[in-house]
Amino acid sequence: IAGMRLADQIPLVIRYQILQESATELQREMLQDENMELLLKEDFDIGSKRAALQS
């Protein structure tokens, strides 16, 4: 029984490691300088709506 539980855990651990590596890589890609400005840029229509509401 214990051997079967260990055998069931191995694929789960492998999947977990792959997901962790993917998450780290995704975070690294998103935080690159060239992408940072694009991610933080406000859409034109949102800025226009905000300006209209403030006036």
The full set of domain ranges for the chain reads 2-42
Cβ(29)–Cβ(35) below 8 Å? yes
Distance CA 8, CA 1 (A): 11
Tens of each residue's pLDDT in the chain, 55 residues: 666 788 889 999 999 999 999 999 988 887 777 777 777 788 889 888 988 999 8
pLDDT value, residue 1 = 63
pLDDT value, residue 11 = 92
The token pair that represents 16 in the structure block: 């977990």
Q: What is the secondary structure of 1-55 as a DSSP string?
A: -HHHHHHHHHHHHHHHHHHHHHHHHHHHHHTSHHHHHHHHPPPHHHHHHHHHHH-
